Amino acid sequence: MASNSKESAREDLRTDFVTLTNDILSRQQRSKEATGDLTILLSAISSACKWISNVVRKAELMKVIGVTGGTNVQNENVQKLDILSNEIMCNLLRDSGKTAILVSEEDDEAIFVEDSKRGHYCVCFDPLDGSSNIDCGVSIGTIFGIYRVKSEGAKPSIADVLRPGTEMVAAGYCMYGSSTVLVLTFQGSNEVNGYTLDPSIGEFVLTHRNMKLGPKKIYSINEGNAHTFDAAIKGYIDSVKFPPAGHTGKFTPYTARYVGSMVADVHRTILYGGVFLYPGAKLRILYECFPMALIVEAAGGKASTGRKRMLDVVPEKLHARSGIVLGTSAEVEAIEARYKELDAKK
Ligand code: FBP
């Protein structure tokens, strides 16, 4: 075989890829305190995401599209896929033997893992985020945040999860879009890595090392809710869409993008840049706002309620909600400045 065809064949046959498993294992080996428990837990989460990815892609064929006819604690119509992905997550997390408490968007109460399978970690998760997009095949995802129990000897309690986001040890999401991408960060690492699932080998392969927010001017908000926007949000949205009064010369408005799945809108915001806003208190703090805030901060951005750092919030109940703005630091700071101005007028 001629040398350049050998080269191109060699290129196609990449042999130097890093898998998620290897990456978290080498991270474990680099840390003296590591027991391997978090590695096993993350491996269970990645298996659950592979399984959910498979079900999502076959949903139409397996006739698991559509609603169950029931509603969840959020009073939302529950999709069949919501139930399926929730069961997959709960079973794999419980069977990992590394979890003490599970908090799921689909379960009213926290799940306390039985003694025989109990470990030291608490996982808060949205098994399938972006429910409104499930039936039309638009990108959806799984979001998760991980805490370590406050004290290993003590009986796990709700206090082990009703904590500020700054106490999470790791967070991530898995997006089921044109490809399946799992994005992960560890508290204090200032590093976000993305792994793309290669279904032919069933492995998540490192494709996005050390993701940092992109430079683009994009704003992402459901403007259908504009009648509910307060003066700070209204003022900011107007400032990125229209030239300021008396402006002469060229004005370049920001681009608007909104998928309606937080995972997809945040993933794009990280890769391209800009800001994602959901000002109304719809999104849940423990398994939507906190994980995304930890990831965006580690990618060099900011996440805020508009008035305070999202990760400093202390949720009062499992399914507590909050407004959120996250993305490029300058955009989030501009919105926070408008809230300061608004509150100063009160
Ligand atoms: P769930 O689908 O998990 O309930 O998540 C809420 C969500 O779908 C987010 O993914 C998304 O950002 C937001 O709600 C969309 O809300 P809206 O349809 O009001 O724009």
Residues 8-64: pLDDT tens digits?
665 556 678 899 999 999 999 999 889 999 999 999 999 999 999 999 999 989 888
Compute φ and ψ for 326, nearest 5 degrees.
-145, 155
DSSP-derived pairing of the beta strands 302-304 and 170-176 = unpaired
Q: Which of 317, 262, 314 has its CA nearest to residue 292?
A: 262
- The Å distance, Cα 129 to ligand 1 centre, comes to 7
| Longest alpha-carbon distance in the chain | 77
d(C-alpha 107, C-alpha 125), whole Å: 10
User: pLDDT of 16-28, one tens digit each?
Assistant: 889 999 999 999 9
Does residue 237 register a pLDDT over 90?
Answer: yes
Does residue 2 register a pLDDT over 60?
Answer: no
111-114 LR contacts (CB < 8 Å, sep 24+): 112/156, 113/156
CB 276 within 8 A of CB 265: yes
Which residue's CA is the nearest one to ligand 1's atom 7? Answer: 130
203 lines ligand 1 (CB under 6 A): no
Angle CA 202–20–147, to nearest 5: 120
- The Å distance, Cα 174 to ligand 1 centre, comes to 16
Please compute, for residue 75, the number of CA atoms within 13 A of its CA located in the half-sphere on the CB side: 1
* Bridge partners, residue 219, by sequence: 256, 275
Dihedral over Cα of 280, 283, 284, 290: its sign: negative
Q: For residue 40, what pLDDT is reported?
A: 97
260 lines ligand 1 (CB under 6 A): yes
Does residue 311 register a pLDDT over 90?
Answer: yes
50 token code pair: 């592979």
Q: Which of 89, 113, 153, 130 has its CA nearest to residue 259?
A: 130
131 lines ligand 1 (CB under 6 A): yes
Q: For residue 15, what pLDDT is reported?
A: 73
The amino acid present at 120, given as its one-letter code, is H
220 lines ligand 1 (CB under 6 A): no
